[in-house]
Amino acid sequence: MISLKNISKHYTDYAALQNVNLTFNKGEFITLLGASGCGKTTLLNIIGGFETFDTGEIRIENQTFAKQTKPSACIKIFQDYALLPWLNVLENVKFALQAQGVKECESLAKEYLKIVHLETFSTRFPAQLSGGQKQRVALARALCVQPKILLLDEPFSALDNFTRNALQNELLEIKQHLKTTMIFVTHDIEEAIYLGDRVVILKPNPGEVVADIEVRVDKSDRNSLEFLRLKREIAEYLETYRFVQDYSI
Ligand SMILES: Nc1ncnc2c1ncn2[C@@H]1O[C@H](COP(=O)(O)OP(=O)(O)O)[C@@H](O)[C@H]1O
Ligand SMILES: [Mg+2]
């Protein structure tokens, strides 16, 4: 569904990404893992068309792009929710639908609030919500326009462990239900394994893919031997390619 061929991106003389080759299948959940500064956000922005790239080409469904993509099918979710504070929960979701010219937005917005279990919170304002609830509104808002690809940039990293685990499970349920292709950036190894059908590991300076691992472990027990073994394998990659601070760049 999405294929990246020899994608490189430089900021002045710094190689944020170098010769990245990746293929994402329809309905797949990919987690991107790597040290800070290895180009995860850059890669997400390039796929979403929010940023240009220097060389290579990207194919999304039947379209091929050079320099910059224009996939209307992509929606991005951020760590800081990006909700509109002057609109209540329902209005925040409706706003996204109205922006796409959808007419029946009230009922559709309610349907998606139900999917994220927030139907009883529709008249609350963002300031009256917990972090987990805010991120669920952001999810409803992103999903209601039925994106083919959902890009998530460390969406749960500001949440406590308990809330984070709950949202991870909700996201997996949503994936089962809606079959949306998801590309999820995290720096948490356990989260990457738990959510991902595949874990793609990047290294910094220059940003390159060092591993692309299909996750076959049983997800029901995060402390099973096979789960912990995979965690260690990935940790070893990250240790090998850990960020080397270079203050000259
Ligand atoms: N607009 C920019 N101008 C210059 N350098 C940038 C810019 N955006 C990102 N970078 C650099 O590119 C590298 C990759 O950044 P980023 O994609 O944000 O990494 P990550 O999300 O993995 O932490 C970093 O070294 C960062 O400093
Ligand atoms: Mg980032």
- SS3 category, 167: helix
Q: What is the pLDDT of residues 51-104, one digit of tens each?
A: 999 999 999 988 999 999 987 767 777 777 789 999 999 999 999 999 888 888
CB 92 within 8 A of CB 141: yes
Q: What is the pLDDT of residues 171-205, one digit of tens each?
A: 999 999 889 999 999 989 999 999 999 999 999 98
What distance in angstroms lies between residue 248's CA and the mean position of ligand 1's atoms?
Answer: 14
2-79+147-243 fold: Rossmann fold (3.40.50)
d(CA 150, CA 44): 10
Q: What is the pLDDT of residues 17-61, one digit of tens each?
A: 999 999 999 999 999 999 888 999 999 999 999 999 999 999 998
Which of 9, 12, 14 has most ligand 1 atoms within 8 Å of CB, for mutation? 14
Q: What residue segments make up the domains of the chain, in order of their start?
A: 2-79+147-243
Alpha helices in the chain (DSSP H): 40-48, 89-99, 105-115, 131-143, 161-178, 189-195, 225-240
- For ligand 1, atom 27, name the residue with the nearest CA: 37
- For ligand 1, atom 14, name the residue with the nearest CA: 39
- And the tokens for 27? 């309905």
Taken in order 57, 18, 16, 10, the sign of the CA dihedral is negative
- Residue 248's pLDDT is what? 47
- Residue 77's pLDDT is what? 76
d(CA 63, CA 25): 15
| Nearest bound ligand to the CA of residue 36 | 1
What distance in angstroms lies between residue 208's CA and the mean position of ligand 1's atoms?
Answer: 13
What distance in angstroms lies between residue 93's CA and the mean position of ligand 1's atoms?
Answer: 30
- And the tokens for 124? 């609350």
